[in-house]
Structure 1
Amino acid sequence: MAIGEAERLKRLVFLGTGTSQGVPIIGCSCQVCRSDDPRDQRLRTSVMMESDATRLVVDTGPDFRMQMLREGVTKLDGVVYTHEHKDHLAGMDDVRPFNYMQKATMPLHASARVEEALRRDFHYAFEEGRHGGVPNVEILPIEDHGTVQVGQLSLEAVPVTHGKLPIHGFVAGDLAYITDASALPESTMARLQGVKVLILNALRPKPHYSHFNLEEALEVAAQVGAKQTWFTHLSHLMGTHSSRD
Protein backbone atom coordinates (compact mmCIF):
# COMPACT_ATOMS: atom_id res chain seq x y z
CA MET A 1 0.00 0.00 0.00
CA ALA A 2 1.50 3.36 -1.06
CA ILE A 3 0.98 6.43 1.13
CA GLY A 4 0.77 10.01 -0.14
CA GLU A 5 4.10 11.73 -0.74
CA ALA A 6 3.28 14.44 1.80
CA GLU A 7 3.21 11.88 4.61
CA ARG A 8 6.23 10.81 6.61
CA LEU A 9 4.85 7.29 6.36
CA LYS A 10 5.53 6.17 2.79
CA ARG A 11 4.68 2.46 2.80
CA LEU A 12 2.74 -0.06 4.85
CA VAL A 13 3.00 -3.84 4.46
CA PHE A 14 0.42 -6.24 5.84
CA LEU A 15 2.65 -8.91 7.41
CA GLY A 16 -0.34 -10.88 8.64
CA THR A 17 -4.11 -10.42 8.74
CA GLY A 18 -5.25 -13.54 10.60
CA THR A 19 -6.58 -14.23 14.07
CA SER A 20 -4.75 -15.70 17.05
CA GLN A 21 -4.86 -19.18 15.47
CA GLY A 22 -3.98 -17.98 11.98
CA VAL A 23 -5.68 -19.23 8.82
CA PRO A 24 -5.78 -22.11 8.03
CA ILE A 25 -6.45 -23.46 11.51
CA ILE A 26 -4.81 -26.73 12.55
CA GLY A 27 -7.26 -29.60 12.07
CA CYS A 28 -10.00 -27.52 10.42
CA SER A 29 -11.50 -28.86 7.19
CA CYS A 30 -13.74 -25.90 6.31
CA GLN A 31 -13.66 -24.44 2.79
CA VAL A 32 -11.40 -21.58 3.83
CA CYS A 33 -8.88 -23.75 5.65
CA ARG A 34 -8.75 -26.17 2.69
CA SER A 35 -8.39 -23.38 0.14
CA ASP A 36 -5.26 -23.33 -2.02
CA ASP A 37 -5.76 -19.62 -2.73
CA PRO A 38 -2.82 -17.83 -1.06
CA ARG A 39 -5.18 -14.97 -0.20
CA ASP A 40 -6.90 -17.34 2.25
CA GLN A 41 -3.65 -18.05 4.11
CA ARG A 42 -3.34 -15.49 6.88
CA LEU A 43 -0.45 -15.23 9.33
CA ARG A 44 -1.00 -13.60 12.70
CA THR A 45 -1.88 -9.91 12.49
CA SER A 46 0.98 -7.42 12.13
CA VAL A 47 2.06 -4.55 9.88
CA MET A 48 5.35 -3.01 8.83
CA MET A 49 5.58 0.77 8.39
CA GLU A 50 8.31 2.49 6.40
CA SER A 51 9.55 5.97 5.61
CA ASP A 52 12.54 6.78 3.43
CA ALA A 53 14.96 5.95 6.25
CA THR A 54 12.97 4.15 8.96
CA ARG A 55 11.25 0.80 9.25
CA LEU A 56 9.16 -0.40 12.20
CA VAL A 57 6.93 -3.36 12.92
CA VAL A 58 3.72 -3.26 14.92
CA ASP A 59 3.62 -6.45 17.05
CA THR A 60 5.82 -9.54 16.93
CA GLY A 61 3.48 -12.51 16.91
CA PRO A 62 4.39 -16.20 16.54
CA ASP A 63 4.90 -15.68 12.79
CA PHE A 64 7.32 -12.74 13.13
CA ARG A 65 10.35 -14.74 11.94
CA MET A 66 8.61 -16.02 8.82
CA GLN A 67 7.18 -12.58 8.08
CA MET A 68 10.66 -11.02 8.19
CA LEU A 69 12.07 -13.77 5.97
CA ARG A 70 9.20 -13.50 3.50
CA GLU A 71 9.68 -9.73 3.13
CA GLY A 72 13.47 -9.94 3.01
CA VAL A 73 13.88 -7.53 5.92
CA THR A 74 17.50 -6.93 6.94
CA LYS A 75 17.03 -3.66 8.85
CA LEU A 76 14.51 -2.89 11.59
CA ASP A 77 14.52 0.29 13.66
CA GLY A 78 11.95 -0.60 16.31
CA VAL A 79 8.90 -2.54 17.40
CA VAL A 80 5.64 -0.99 18.58
CA TYR A 81 3.14 -3.09 20.55
CA THR A 82 -0.64 -2.91 20.62
CA HIS A 83 -1.08 -5.29 23.58
CA GLU A 84 0.26 -8.29 25.41
CA HIS A 85 -1.65 -11.25 23.97
CA LYS A 86 0.59 -14.00 22.64
CA ASP A 87 -0.50 -13.62 19.01
CA HIS A 88 1.03 -10.13 19.17
CA LEU A 89 4.01 -10.77 21.46
CA ALA A 90 5.31 -14.33 21.15
CA GLY A 91 7.94 -13.73 18.45
CA MET A 92 9.93 -11.02 20.23
CA ASP A 93 12.96 -13.29 20.67
CA ASP A 94 13.49 -13.16 16.91
CA VAL A 95 14.71 -9.57 17.03
CA ARG A 96 18.12 -11.12 17.77
CA PRO A 97 19.28 -11.26 14.12
CA PHE A 98 18.67 -7.51 13.88
CA ASN A 99 20.77 -7.00 17.02
CA TYR A 100 23.61 -8.89 15.34
CA MET A 101 23.30 -7.23 11.92
CA GLN A 102 22.82 -3.70 13.24
CA LYS A 103 25.08 -4.06 16.30
CA ALA A 104 22.46 -2.13 18.23
CA THR A 105 19.79 -2.47 20.88
CA MET A 106 16.24 -2.94 19.57
CA PRO A 107 13.75 -0.37 20.94
CA LEU A 108 10.45 -1.93 22.03
CA HIS A 109 7.68 0.63 22.49
CA ALA A 110 5.16 -0.77 24.95
CA SER A 111 2.53 0.12 27.52
CA ALA A 112 3.11 -0.77 31.18
CA ARG A 113 0.98 -3.91 30.74
CA VAL A 114 2.97 -5.02 27.71
CA GLU A 115 6.25 -4.29 29.47
CA GLU A 116 5.19 -6.50 32.37
CA ALA A 117 4.38 -9.34 29.95
CA LEU A 118 7.67 -8.92 28.08
CA ARG A 119 9.68 -9.02 31.29
CA ARG A 120 7.78 -12.10 32.44
CA ASP A 121 7.73 -14.09 29.20
CA PHE A 122 11.25 -13.15 28.09
CA HIS A 123 12.80 -12.80 31.54
CA TYR A 124 16.17 -14.06 30.27
CA ALA A 125 16.52 -10.91 28.14
CA PHE A 126 16.32 -8.64 31.19
CA GLU A 127 18.37 -10.52 33.80
CA GLU A 128 21.70 -9.18 35.00
CA GLY A 129 24.66 -11.08 33.63
CA ARG A 130 22.71 -12.30 30.61
CA HIS A 131 24.78 -13.91 27.87
CA GLY A 132 25.11 -12.80 24.26
CA GLY A 133 22.56 -15.20 22.80
CA VAL A 134 19.50 -13.34 24.07
CA PRO A 135 17.62 -10.35 22.67
CA ASN A 136 19.26 -6.98 23.31
CA VAL A 137 16.25 -4.74 23.82
CA GLU A 138 15.21 -1.50 25.46
CA ILE A 139 11.61 -0.88 26.51
CA LEU A 140 10.25 2.62 25.91
CA PRO A 141 6.88 3.59 27.43
CA ILE A 142 3.67 4.20 25.50
CA GLU A 143 0.97 6.45 26.98
CA ASP A 144 -2.56 7.18 25.75
CA HIS A 145 -2.39 9.87 23.04
CA GLY A 146 1.37 10.02 23.49
CA THR A 147 3.88 10.20 20.66
CA VAL A 148 5.83 7.11 19.65
CA GLN A 149 8.99 8.13 17.81
CA VAL A 150 10.90 5.50 15.85
CA GLY A 151 13.60 7.08 13.73
CA GLN A 152 11.82 9.45 11.34
CA LEU A 153 8.43 7.87 11.90
CA SER A 154 6.11 9.53 14.40
CA LEU A 155 2.99 7.73 15.61
CA GLU A 156 0.29 8.72 18.08
CA ALA A 157 -0.92 5.99 20.43
CA VAL A 158 -4.71 6.02 20.75
CA PRO A 159 -6.62 4.09 23.44
CA VAL A 160 -8.67 1.09 22.31
CA THR A 161 -10.80 -1.39 24.25
CA HIS A 162 -10.29 -5.12 23.62
CA GLY A 163 -12.99 -6.84 25.69
CA LYS A 164 -12.00 -5.63 29.16
CA LEU A 165 -8.39 -5.01 28.17
CA PRO A 166 -6.99 -1.51 27.51
CA ILE A 167 -4.80 -1.63 24.40
CA HIS A 168 -3.47 0.79 21.78
CA GLY A 169 -4.02 1.63 18.16
CA PHE A 170 -1.77 4.02 16.25
CA VAL A 171 -2.19 7.02 13.97
CA ALA A 172 0.63 7.83 11.55
CA GLY A 173 -0.07 10.89 9.45
CA ASP A 174 -3.32 10.24 7.60
CA LEU A 175 -3.35 6.52 8.41
CA ALA A 176 -4.85 4.80 11.44
CA TYR A 177 -4.07 1.22 12.45
CA ILE A 178 -6.44 -0.42 14.94
CA THR A 179 -6.66 -4.13 15.64
CA ASP A 180 -8.33 -6.32 18.28
CA ALA A 181 -10.84 -3.60 19.11
CA SER A 182 -14.29 -4.19 20.56
CA ALA A 183 -14.93 -0.52 21.33
CA LEU A 184 -13.31 2.85 20.68
CA PRO A 185 -13.38 5.65 23.29
CA GLU A 186 -14.78 9.03 22.28
CA SER A 187 -11.28 10.53 22.30
CA THR A 188 -10.10 7.94 19.79
CA MET A 189 -13.12 8.37 17.52
CA ALA A 190 -12.49 12.11 17.55
CA ARG A 191 -8.83 11.58 16.66
CA LEU A 192 -9.75 9.32 13.74
CA GLN A 193 -11.81 12.00 12.04
CA GLY A 194 -9.98 13.11 8.91
CA VAL A 195 -7.73 10.11 8.42
CA LYS A 196 -7.56 8.98 4.81
CA VAL A 197 -6.72 5.32 5.42
CA LEU A 198 -8.27 3.22 8.19
CA ILE A 199 -7.08 -0.29 9.03
CA LEU A 200 -9.52 -1.98 11.40
CA ASN A 201 -10.22 -5.45 12.75
CA ALA A 202 -13.29 -7.39 11.59
CA LEU A 203 -13.20 -10.86 13.12
CA ARG A 204 -16.29 -12.62 11.75
CA PRO A 205 -19.94 -12.06 10.80
CA LYS A 206 -21.34 -13.02 14.23
CA PRO A 207 -20.78 -10.88 17.36
CA HIS A 208 -17.75 -11.52 19.56
CA TYR A 209 -17.11 -10.29 23.09
CA SER A 210 -13.66 -8.81 22.45
CA HIS A 211 -13.45 -8.05 18.71
CA PHE A 212 -15.55 -6.07 16.26
CA ASN A 213 -17.59 -8.29 14.00
CA LEU A 214 -18.09 -7.32 10.36
CA GLU A 215 -21.23 -5.26 10.99
CA GLU A 216 -19.59 -3.32 13.82
CA ALA A 217 -16.45 -2.72 11.78
CA LEU A 218 -18.50 -1.40 8.87
CA GLU A 219 -20.34 0.94 11.25
CA VAL A 220 -17.08 2.32 12.67
CA ALA A 221 -15.69 2.71 9.15
CA ALA A 222 -18.76 4.70 8.14
CA GLN A 223 -18.40 6.96 11.18
CA VAL A 224 -14.72 7.60 10.46
CA GLY A 225 -15.32 8.19 6.77
CA ALA A 226 -11.81 7.43 5.54
CA LYS A 227 -11.23 7.31 1.79
CA GLN A 228 -9.95 3.73 2.16
CA THR A 229 -10.75 1.14 4.82
CA TRP A 230 -8.92 -2.17 5.08
CA PHE A 231 -10.06 -4.95 7.40
CA THR A 232 -7.61 -7.16 9.30
CA HIS A 233 -7.57 -9.81 12.05
CA LEU A 234 -9.93 -11.94 9.97
CA SER A 235 -10.99 -15.44 10.96
CA HIS A 236 -11.82 -18.36 8.68
CA LEU A 237 -15.47 -17.62 9.44
CA MET A 238 -15.29 -14.63 7.07
CA GLY A 239 -15.33 -17.00 4.08
CA THR A 240 -12.95 -17.29 1.18
CA HIS A 241 -11.38 -14.22 -0.38
CA SER A 242 -12.94 -15.02 -3.76
CA SER A 243 -16.42 -15.15 -2.23
CA ARG A 244 -16.03 -11.50 -1.14
CA ASP A 245 -14.40 -10.12 -4.31
Structure 2
Amino acid sequence: MRSRPENSLRLDVIVLGSGTSTGVPTLGCSCAVCTSQTPENQRTRCSLLLSSGGRNILIDSATDLRQQALREGIGHLDAVLYTHTHADHVNGIDDLRAFNMHSGQAIPIYGDAPSIAGIQRVFAYIFDEELEPGYRPRLEPRVIGGPFELFGLPIQPVPLHHGSGGSLGFRIGPFAYLTDCSAIPETSLPLLRDLHTVIIDGLRFRPHSTHFNIPQAIQAMRDLHVKRIILTHLSHDIDHHRHGAALPPGAEFAYDGQRLSFLL
Protein backbone atom coordinates (compact mmCIF):
# COMPACT_ATOMS: atom_id res chain seq x y z
CA MET A 1 0.00 0.00 0.00
CA ARG A 2 1.32 3.43 -0.94
CA SER A 3 2.03 5.50 2.19
CA ARG A 4 0.62 8.96 2.65
CA PRO A 5 3.28 11.72 2.45
CA GLU A 6 4.17 12.89 5.95
CA ASN A 7 3.25 16.55 5.42
CA SER A 8 0.46 16.14 2.88
CA LEU A 9 -2.76 18.12 3.10
CA ARG A 10 -6.14 16.62 2.28
CA LEU A 11 -8.48 18.75 0.20
CA ASP A 12 -12.15 17.79 0.07
CA VAL A 13 -14.38 19.38 -2.56
CA ILE A 14 -18.17 19.51 -2.77
CA VAL A 15 -19.97 20.74 -5.89
CA LEU A 16 -22.65 22.83 -4.20
CA GLY A 17 -24.24 23.89 -7.48
CA SER A 18 -23.70 22.75 -11.07
CA GLY A 19 -26.33 24.76 -12.92
CA THR A 20 -26.37 27.82 -15.13
CA SER A 21 -27.72 31.22 -14.10
CA THR A 22 -31.39 30.18 -14.30
CA GLY A 23 -30.91 26.96 -12.38
CA VAL A 24 -32.50 23.72 -13.55
CA PRO A 25 -35.48 23.30 -13.66
CA THR A 26 -35.78 26.67 -15.35
CA LEU A 27 -38.83 28.71 -14.42
CA GLY A 28 -41.67 28.35 -16.93
CA CYS A 29 -40.02 25.51 -18.85
CA SER A 30 -41.61 22.11 -19.38
CA CYS A 31 -38.81 20.47 -21.38
CA ALA A 32 -37.75 16.88 -20.67
CA VAL A 33 -34.85 17.93 -18.43
CA CYS A 34 -36.80 20.53 -16.45
CA THR A 35 -39.55 18.02 -15.74
CA SER A 36 -37.14 15.16 -15.07
CA GLN A 37 -37.19 13.47 -11.67
CA THR A 38 -33.53 12.47 -12.04
CA PRO A 39 -31.61 14.00 -9.09
CA GLU A 40 -28.59 14.86 -11.26
CA ASN A 41 -30.84 17.03 -13.44
CA GLN A 42 -31.80 19.20 -10.44
CA ARG A 43 -29.16 21.93 -10.58
CA THR A 44 -28.73 24.90 -8.27
CA ARG A 45 -26.57 27.85 -9.27
CA CYS A 46 -22.80 27.28 -9.56
CA SER A 47 -20.65 27.24 -6.45
CA LEU A 48 -18.10 25.03 -4.70
CA LEU A 49 -16.94 24.22 -1.19
CA LEU A 50 -13.29 23.53 -0.35
CA SER A 51 -12.55 21.88 3.00
CA SER A 52 -9.16 21.19 4.55
CA GLY A 53 -7.95 20.91 8.13
CA GLY A 54 -11.37 21.79 9.52
CA ARG A 55 -11.60 24.99 7.45
CA ASN A 56 -14.35 25.66 4.91
CA ILE A 57 -13.75 27.93 1.92
CA LEU A 58 -16.69 28.83 -0.31
CA ILE A 59 -16.21 29.70 -3.97
CA ASP A 60 -18.99 32.18 -4.85
CA SER A 61 -22.07 32.96 -2.78
CA ALA A 62 -24.51 31.65 -5.35
CA THR A 63 -28.17 32.64 -5.42
CA ASP A 64 -29.05 29.25 -3.88
CA LEU A 65 -26.47 29.39 -1.05
CA ARG A 66 -28.96 28.83 1.77
CA GLN A 67 -30.44 25.78 0.07
CA GLN A 68 -26.98 24.38 -0.70
CA ALA A 69 -25.66 24.91 2.84
CA LEU A 70 -28.70 23.22 4.38
CA ARG A 71 -28.46 20.30 1.96
CA GLU A 72 -24.77 19.70 2.72
CA GLY A 73 -24.89 20.50 6.45
CA ILE A 74 -22.38 23.34 6.26
CA GLY A 75 -22.02 24.63 9.81
CA HIS A 76 -19.34 27.27 9.34
CA LEU A 77 -17.47 29.24 6.69
CA ASP A 78 -13.96 30.61 7.09
CA ALA A 79 -13.52 32.48 3.78
CA VAL A 80 -15.14 33.13 0.40
CA LEU A 81 -13.37 33.29 -2.96
CA TYR A 82 -15.16 35.15 -5.75
CA THR A 83 -14.75 34.30 -9.42
CA HIS A 84 -16.66 37.39 -10.67
CA THR A 85 -19.75 39.41 -9.81
CA HIS A 86 -22.52 38.15 -12.07
CA ALA A 87 -25.75 37.85 -10.09
CA ASP A 88 -25.88 34.05 -9.97
CA HIS A 89 -22.46 33.98 -8.30
CA VAL A 90 -22.94 36.71 -5.68
CA ASN A 91 -26.63 37.15 -4.90
CA GLY A 92 -26.58 34.71 -1.97
CA ILE A 93 -24.19 37.05 -0.15
CA ASP A 94 -26.70 38.10 2.51
CA ASP A 95 -26.95 34.49 3.71
CA LEU A 96 -23.34 34.77 4.89
CA ARG A 97 -24.59 36.67 7.95
CA ALA A 98 -25.99 33.44 9.40
CA PHE A 99 -22.41 32.15 9.58
CA ASN A 100 -21.33 35.41 11.27
CA MET A 101 -24.03 34.91 13.89
CA HIS A 102 -22.85 31.37 14.54
CA SER A 103 -19.12 32.17 14.80
CA GLY A 104 -19.14 35.77 16.02
CA GLN A 105 -16.39 36.46 13.47
CA ALA A 106 -16.17 38.41 10.24
CA ILE A 107 -15.62 36.39 7.06
CA PRO A 108 -12.79 37.41 4.71
CA ILE A 109 -13.81 37.58 1.06
CA TYR A 110 -11.23 37.39 -1.72
CA GLY A 111 -11.43 38.52 -5.33
CA ASP A 112 -9.65 40.58 -7.93
CA ALA A 113 -9.91 44.38 -7.70
CA PRO A 114 -12.93 44.73 -10.06
CA SER A 115 -14.86 42.01 -8.20
CA ILE A 116 -14.24 43.44 -4.74
CA ALA A 117 -15.12 46.95 -5.96
CA GLY A 118 -18.28 45.61 -7.60
CA ILE A 119 -19.40 43.82 -4.44
CA GLN A 120 -18.78 46.91 -2.33
CA ARG A 121 -20.79 49.04 -4.78
CA VAL A 122 -23.77 46.73 -5.37
CA PHE A 123 -24.03 45.58 -1.75
CA ALA A 124 -23.08 48.91 -0.16
CA TYR A 125 -25.28 48.24 2.89
CA ILE A 126 -22.97 45.40 3.93
CA PHE A 127 -20.07 47.81 4.30
CA ASP A 128 -22.04 50.67 5.91
CA GLU A 129 -20.63 50.84 9.44
CA GLU A 130 -23.57 52.98 10.58
CA LEU A 131 -25.99 50.05 10.20
CA GLU A 132 -26.53 47.56 13.00
CA PRO A 133 -24.28 44.53 12.39
CA GLY A 134 -27.11 42.02 12.88
CA TYR A 135 -28.80 43.28 9.71
CA ARG A 136 -25.86 42.76 7.40
CA PRO A 137 -23.07 40.23 6.90
CA ARG A 138 -19.73 41.05 8.47
CA LEU A 139 -17.23 40.70 5.62
CA GLU A 140 -13.59 41.71 5.24
CA PRO A 141 -12.75 42.47 1.57
CA ARG A 142 -9.29 41.37 0.43
CA VAL A 143 -8.00 42.05 -3.07
CA ILE A 144 -5.84 39.32 -4.61
CA GLY A 145 -3.40 39.88 -7.43
CA GLY A 146 -1.51 36.61 -7.51
CA PRO A 147 -0.95 33.33 -5.67
CA PHE A 148 -1.45 33.25 -1.91
CA GLU A 149 -1.87 30.80 0.94
CA LEU A 150 -5.16 30.37 2.78
CA PHE A 151 -5.31 28.12 5.86
CA GLY A 152 -2.30 26.24 4.53
CA LEU A 153 -3.77 25.76 1.06
CA PRO A 154 -1.83 27.13 -1.94
CA ILE A 155 -4.37 29.19 -3.92
CA GLN A 156 -3.45 30.11 -7.49
CA PRO A 157 -5.90 32.54 -9.13
CA VAL A 158 -6.25 31.92 -12.87
CA PRO A 159 -7.46 34.85 -15.03
CA LEU A 160 -10.02 33.75 -17.63
CA HIS A 161 -12.02 35.32 -20.44
CA HIS A 162 -15.78 35.42 -19.89
CA GLY A 163 -17.10 36.87 -23.14
CA SER A 164 -15.90 40.48 -23.30
CA GLY A 165 -15.30 40.44 -19.55
CA GLY A 166 -13.24 38.32 -17.23
CA SER A 167 -13.44 35.93 -14.33
CA LEU A 168 -11.04 34.11 -12.03
CA GLY A 169 -10.50 30.41 -11.84
CA PHE A 170 -8.71 28.89 -8.86
CA ARG A 171 -6.08 26.16 -8.77
CA ILE A 172 -5.24 24.24 -5.60
CA GLY A 173 -2.56 21.61 -6.19
CA PRO A 174 -3.72 19.00 -8.75
CA PHE A 175 -7.24 20.49 -8.91
CA ALA A 176 -8.68 23.58 -10.61
CA TYR A 177 -12.11 25.19 -10.76
CA LEU A 178 -12.73 27.17 -13.95
CA THR A 179 -16.35 28.24 -14.08
CA ASP A 180 -17.80 31.00 -16.29
CA CYS A 181 -15.21 31.17 -19.03
CA SER A 182 -15.21 31.26 -22.81
CA ALA A 183 -11.44 31.15 -23.36
CA ILE A 184 -8.20 30.75 -21.43
CA PRO A 185 -5.64 33.53 -22.02
CA GLU A 186 -2.23 32.40 -23.22
CA THR A 187 -0.70 33.93 -20.08
CA SER A 188 -2.86 31.66 -17.90
CA LEU A 189 -1.93 28.40 -19.61
CA PRO A 190 1.29 27.89 -17.59
CA LEU A 191 -0.79 28.13 -14.40
CA LEU A 192 -2.78 25.07 -15.51
CA ARG A 193 0.02 22.63 -16.30
CA ASP A 194 0.15 19.17 -14.67
CA LEU A 195 -3.41 19.13 -13.38
CA HIS A 196 -5.25 15.92 -12.60
CA THR A 197 -8.84 17.15 -12.28
CA VAL A 198 -10.57 20.28 -13.55
CA ILE A 199 -14.16 21.37 -13.05
CA ILE A 200 -14.81 23.63 -16.04
CA ASP A 201 -17.63 25.62 -17.59
CA GLY A 202 -19.44 23.60 -20.27
CA LEU A 203 -22.82 25.27 -20.70
CA ARG A 204 -24.29 23.20 -23.55
CA PHE A 205 -23.35 21.59 -26.86
CA ARG A 206 -24.27 24.61 -29.01
CA PRO A 207 -21.92 27.62 -29.11
CA HIS A 208 -22.41 30.51 -26.69
CA SER A 209 -20.81 33.94 -26.68
CA THR A 210 -19.70 33.99 -23.02
CA HIS A 211 -19.28 30.32 -22.05
CA PHE A 212 -17.34 27.35 -23.35
CA ASN A 213 -19.62 24.85 -24.97
CA ILE A 214 -18.97 21.21 -24.14
CA PRO A 215 -16.69 20.32 -27.10
CA GLN A 216 -14.65 23.51 -26.54
CA ALA A 217 -14.20 22.84 -22.83
CA ILE A 218 -13.13 19.25 -23.40
CA GLN A 219 -10.66 20.25 -26.12
CA ALA A 220 -9.16 23.01 -23.97
CA MET A 221 -8.54 20.53 -21.16
CA ARG A 222 -7.21 17.84 -23.51
CA ASP A 223 -4.71 20.39 -24.80
CA LEU A 224 -3.51 20.67 -21.19
CA HIS A 225 -3.51 16.85 -20.74
CA VAL A 226 -6.00 16.98 -17.88
CA LYS A 227 -6.91 13.44 -16.81
CA ARG A 228 -10.39 14.09 -15.38
CA ILE A 229 -12.64 16.75 -16.93
CA ILE A 230 -15.84 17.62 -15.03
CA LEU A 231 -18.27 19.92 -16.83
CA THR A 232 -20.32 22.40 -14.80
CA HIS A 233 -22.57 25.48 -15.23
CA LEU A 234 -24.89 23.16 -17.14
CA SER A 235 -28.05 24.38 -18.84
CA HIS A 236 -31.36 22.55 -19.21
CA ASP A 237 -30.14 21.40 -22.63
CA ILE A 238 -28.13 18.72 -20.81
CA ASP A 239 -29.64 15.47 -19.60
CA HIS A 240 -27.09 14.11 -17.15
CA HIS A 241 -27.34 10.41 -17.98
CA ARG A 242 -28.42 10.48 -21.62
CA HIS A 243 -25.80 12.98 -22.75
CA GLY A 244 -23.24 11.81 -20.20
CA ALA A 245 -23.14 8.36 -21.77
CA ALA A 246 -21.93 9.94 -25.01
CA LEU A 247 -19.07 11.96 -23.51
CA PRO A 248 -15.54 10.86 -24.41
CA PRO A 249 -13.43 8.95 -21.87
CA GLY A 250 -12.13 11.21 -19.12
CA ALA A 251 -15.04 13.65 -19.33
CA GLU A 252 -18.18 13.72 -17.19
CA PHE A 253 -20.93 16.05 -16.00
CA ALA A 254 -20.88 17.59 -12.54
CA TYR A 255 -23.90 17.27 -10.30
CA ASP A 256 -25.05 18.94 -7.10
CA GLY A 257 -23.55 17.21 -4.08
CA GLN A 258 -20.68 15.60 -6.00
CA ARG A 259 -17.63 14.99 -3.80
CA LEU A 260 -13.94 14.82 -4.68
CA SER A 261 -10.79 14.45 -2.54
CA PHE A 262 -7.14 15.22 -3.20
CA LEU A 263 -3.81 15.00 -1.40
CA LEU A 264 -1.64 18.08 -1.89
User: TM-score band (shorter)?
Assistant: over 0.9
Q: How many residues align?
A: 240
1:204 aligns with 2:204: yes
Q: Is the 8 A contact 2:83 2:169 kept in 1?
A: yes
Partner of 1:137: 139
Distance of aligned partners of 1:16 and 1:7 in 2 relative to their CA distance in 1, 3 Å threshold: farther
TM-score by length of 2: 0.87
Partner of 1:122: 123
For 1:138-182, what per-residue CA distance to the aligned partner results, in whole angstroms no more than 9, with x for missing partners? 000022xx1243322221101100001121101001111101110
Partner of 1:235: 235
Provide the secondary structure at the position in 2 that maps to 1:108.
strand
Q: Which moved more, 1:92-101 or 1:13-22?
A: 92-101
Q: Which moved more, 1:123-132 or 1:56-65?
A: 123-132
Higher RCO, Cα 8 Å, sep 6+: 2
Provide the C-alpha distance between the structure 1 equivalents of 2:231 and 2:76, rounded to a whole number of angstroms.
27
Provide the C-alpha distance between the structure 2 equivalents of 1:142 and 1:229, rounded to a whole number of angstroms.
27
Structure 2: stretches of 5+ with no match in the other structure = 246-264
Provide the secondary structure at the position in 1 that maps to 2:33.
helix
Partner of 1:13: 14
Q: Which amino acid aligns with 1:91?
A: G
Q: Give how far 1:49 is off.
A: 0.6
Q: Which moved more, 1:120-129 or 1:5-14?
A: 5-14
Q: Give how far 1:121 is off.
A: 2.1
Provide the C-alpha distance between the structure 2 equivalents of 1:169 and 1:208, rounded to a whole number of angstroms.
19
Q: Give how far 1:225 is off.
A: 1.2
TM-score by length of 1: 0.93
Q: Which moved more, 1:8-17 or 1:24-33?
A: 8-17
Q: Which amino acid aligns with 1:216?
A: Q
Partner of 1:28: 29
Distance of aligned partners of 1:164 and 1:93 in 2 relative to their CA distance in 1, 3 Å threshold: same
Provide the C-alpha distance between the structure 1 equivalents of 2:225 and 2:112, rounded to a whole number of angstroms.
29
Q: Give how far 1:62 is off.
A: 0.6
Partner of 1:244: 244
Q: Is the 8 A contact 1:31 1:240 kept in 2?
A: no
For 1:41-75, what per-residue CA distance to the aligned partner results, in whole angstroms no more than 9, with x for missing partners? 00001110111232101000110111111111111
Among all aligned residue pairs of Structure 1 and Structure 2, give the percentage whose two residues are the same amino acid. Answer: 37
Provide the C-alpha distance between the structure 1 equivalents of 2:49 and 2:235, rounded to a whole number of angstroms.
21
Distance of aligned partners of 1:9 and 1:163 in 2 relative to their CA distance in 1, 3 Å threshold: farther
For 1:3-27, what per-residue CA distance to the aligned partner results, in whole angstroms no more than 9, with x for missing partners? x977535210000000000111001
Provide the secondary structure at the position in 2 that maps to 1:32.
coil
Structure 1: stretches of 5+ with no match in the other structure = none
Q: Counterparts of 1:7-156 in structure 2 under 5 Å?
A: 8-133=9-134, 134-143=136-145, 146-156=146-156
